[in-house]
Amino acid sequence: MLGGAGILLTAGPAMAAEVAYKTECIPPAISGLPAVQGTTKVLITAPAEAKVGDEVEVVWKTVEAASKNPDILDLEKDTVKPTGVLKIGGAASGTLSMEGPRQNPPIKKNSPMVLPDMKGKLKLEKAGEITLTPDKYNINVSKPMSTDTKCSPKETVAVAATIKVTDGGGTTTSGGTTTSGGTTTSGGTTTSGGTTTSGGTTTSGGSTSGGTSGSGGSTTTSGGSASGGGGGQTDFPGKEVAVSFACQAPGPASITSKVTINAKKDGGSYALTVKTAKGVMNSPAALPKGALKPSMAVKIGGADSGTVTVTGAPNPAPLEAGKPVDLTDMTGTYKPGASGKATLSPGKLTISVSLGGSPIVIPCEVKGGVAASLELDTTKQAGGAAGGGGNSASGGGGGDLAETGAEDTGALRALALVAGTVILLGGAVFTFTPWARLRR
């Protein structure tokens, strides 16, 4: 038959064997739930015989997952994606990465998990008997937000399939086994690729020229700068710059937005207003008014250093699940810690979701380089940014990002009551959790 790489294989009939093993599954960190102890049953299918040089397909069928979907949340169709690892032994050694599609029927609460088959391709490079043994696997759930449950064996697992590899015509080869076609993923959903934006930027109250270009997470801008400290000017509009953020679960994998930092002089300090583009992310769930609050650590460079924490108001209206979210303008105060030309650039974005309990904190780090949005002619103030100590600008030098917007800087937690309905942000944690534990 034709293999995945278009190679004509002279393999023997497929062999399948089912194995069962004790498994521990670690729920997403945001759930705050304990590890799940269960039994996984797996059926591995592979050719019984093949020749050196063949590339064969191996199929992992999960007959039974470690536990049921908990009695909390129905999983939508095509939201579950498994990945796993097979151990290779016998005449060769190594691992084979297995991957399944994001494909499943709707899975009701308190019902068995249904996982699609995982596949991988194995290039045979050495004669002898090769054994295949199931190992760890990961289950990603994409809605209501991307989460991962990591499962691993807690006992020695039996060999599930054996391939007898013959020399295939007197040619002796040596070496290991090459695997291809599978990808093992863990710890959330990873996306790659940049966002390209083009066009001019118009600002008021200052002179700005040039365009803004973002590609692959880095941003290069050119144009004028707003400068203060002379001539009685009090308002200093910044340039719009494109920024890419990489967020941790349960937030989106990435956010790309245009950001503008504006300043208004107030004595020796500056009142900052940071604006983001409309619809920077989709709401992870149906959220009531006042549940979602943004903040940012504006990075100070040039003659000064440190960060300024700016915070936005909570969402003024209820948010629908999956619909675009506009972040409110974020404000804070910058007190210069040095004299000269200081630059202000977008830094770490933090989104806090509070639903009556401990807030869910979603940190989003700047991905790649980012240009300054504003340049100011500053005069050093006592206790300013570079000097540190009790100001909105945090010192310490080097522009380290400050912790912003989080009332709870510990592990992420994501269970809360929304209009009387419990929402499990952790997705498919394969354990039954009583209501009392959720309330705690």
pLDDT for 169 equals 57
Torsion sign over Cα 23, 28, 30, 31: negative
Residue 42 structure tokens: 């797996």
Q: What is the 3-state secondary structure (H, E, C) of 99-113?
A: ECCCCCCCECCCCEC
What pLDDT is recorded for position 413? 35
At residue 14, the pLDDT reads 60
Write out the DSSP string of 234-291. Answer: -EEPPPEEEEEEEE-TTS-SEEEEEEEEEEEEETTEEEEEEEE-TT-EE-SS-B-TT-
The total of other beta-carbon atoms located within 10 Å of residue 427's CB is 28
**What pLDDT score does 295 carry?**
96
pLDDT at res. 8: 36
Tokens representing 413? 């937690």
CA–CA gap between residue 220 and residue 370 (Å, rounded): 7
Q: What pTM was computed for the model?
A: 0.44
Distance CA 60, CA 84 (A): 9
CATH of span 14-180: 2.60.40
C-alpha torsion sign, points 261, 265, 268, 269: negative
pLDDT given for residue 250 in this prediction: 72
pLDDT of residue 3: 38
Measured between alpha carbons, how far is residue 69 from residues 101, 152, 154, 168, 307 in Å? 19, 18, 21, 47, 44
Sign of CA dihedral 408, 410, 412, 417: negative
Q: pLDDT (tens digit, 0 to 9) for every residue of the chain, 440 residues total?
A: 333 333 334 345 566 678 999 999 987 766 666 888 999 999 999 999 999 999 999 999 999 998 777 766 788 999 999 999 999 999 999 999 999 999 999 999 888 889 999 999 999 999 999 999 999 999 988 877 677 889 999 999 999 999 999 986 544 333 344 444 443 333 333 333 333 333 333 333 333 333 333 333 333 333 334 444 445 789 999 999 999 999 887 777 888 999 999 999 998 899 999 999 988 888 877 888 998 999 999 999 999 999 999 999 999 999 887 789 999 999 999 999 999 999 999 999 999 988 766 788 889 999 988 999 999 999 999 888 763 333 443 333 333 333 333 333 333 333 333 333 333 333 333 333 333 333 34
Can you tell me whether residue 432 is helix, strand or coil?
A: coil
Question: What stretch of H or E contains 168?
Answer: none
Q: Where are the domains of the chain?
A: 14-180, 212-409
The whole-angstrom separation of Cα 377 and Cα 50 is 73
Q: What was the pLDDT predicted at 301?
A: 94
Q: Are 153 and 136 in contact (CB under 8 A)?
A: yes
